[in-house]
Structure 1
């Protein structure tokens, strides 16, 4: 039996994976949370996060082309730096993305609980049930997951189009004083927004499964970031047009609450639930691939690296992923989980940029200064956000 996953994901599949990993929690939760922090500086915070994501995305693409295997920076750390860097990157990735998945699952659970008027204490169990459902889907194989991703992305984009269209066509809240924010708050919001861009990492993490990686991975990363930047800016402008978000509550974080027309609000809510479900699906897939790589390296028990009979899924790694995400969902909250994800993922991508600087000139398609700026932006956002 082969110890390599099958390369059956082309450019379209890679794009769907990237968009499916980003468009949910980023558009339906993170932009609203960042609006509370950055106030009228929301769009600038989005642009700072987008620029940081572009540099880090290019570094990730560079590494994925030079070393196209599952595992992301965990593998890149081993290949281009040293075993210690690889282990740290693997741990950071699992924590960061498990926290992101828990955030998305909890957000969906809150939507469901409010819609069905069930007690708040059930929310965490609904979140775990959602994680279990998508774990089973991932175990069914990546090809089936790609088709489901395409459907999730399509419906979630419809919800965002409805939000932007209805929001911008509504009367602006000119009577509401714009929220002001300090420069440090701006960078804090940018750090939280950066997490909302990092779905491109799923593309690199699944490098072993993407066909023609030298051509498809860079294209998929750049196109994904361009599309998602436009979406976030449109959502951000709509939030500001509707008066911004003055406060954040555990059960009142969704952008649908800003829609003045109640008859259209459910369309946005539905889009949010479906979008965030797509995020959970892709994060279960991405984190399991890193745990798979750690099992292959011996940093986790060898049984973790076992593949299914058709070499299209990694059962042990996927179930471990489910367990970690479930624990975070059971013992954490939305805001805390997202903040944890932000800080750990920035450090993770700092290591990514350091590794990208070690790629040989013959394999390089981006200049080194891109990775240097990416490194400085990652650690700069961590420092400035911590001071905010």
Structure 2
């Protein structure tokens, strides 16, 4: 059996095929390729080496595939603009591109939530499938075009945790008045249940929890939550993060700069984003388990959201989606698409993937 290829090797092979799409000799192509230098602003700090590292990985792949002629210099949140202003910097041309989740920008258009994923939506693989095969890419880019941008899928966290809480949350009533750092549409949904949502940058979460100006915070999962130190100021660690079953990130590119790229560079960029997308999800799968074990050993107390909370959150989600669909044709189109795809794929998932995973979880000590 042939050994499996790494995402990097797969990308280099694919990019090489894309670049060799004519009979012109490789040296002639290399000689005619322009030198291009872009700046990328990330929405995340360098300390989060997986989510920020995805941008660095993308930059490396692009440089390797072009012999160093297409360079993307990466900057962390705050070095050029704050993390929540990455799309604005792309829109104005302050930077050529950004690595960011589109749901940070639902204030511009609520339909952008679907680029990342919505509460009780799709898991990581389903989100990726919806993006590529159910016109998700076309729908999100139609919205982004109004903001002078175009997006490529470029990373996914997988299912996220429900976050760290300073006190136990046993029933819906315990949510009333809770000051919770949470992003995307989850904030609007939780507000219906009495939560006071806060969307603040990762670096500001720890001091807010420590001072008590936040009662709870979610970010991604065990690996990043451990790095951010949440356990030191809040011990109850909840699952699941029902608002992010598979949070997709994107390379968002200034449309003019994107249109100026040679076709070969566009192909390389697209394949580099796919390779970086695979790298990020695989990395999180490798590091989240050990991080969770370490935090439990240090005193993290694992909890599940109660069925009553989950049911109330689902009901509130459907209310928010109905309200937004009535106001935004783009939101309604994307939501209808996600629902149709979800209803089609879940029976197959239940029959096969879910049964296999459930069996392996139950029997993991027997082999």
User: Normalising to structure 1: TM-score of the pair?
Assistant: 0.27
Query: Is the helix fraction higher in 1 or 2?
Result: 1
Query: Is the strand fraction higher in 1 or 2?
Result: 2
For the pair shown, the structure with the greater C-alpha radius of gyration is 2
Higher relative contact order at CA 8 Å, sep ≥6: structure 1 or structure 2?
Answer: 1
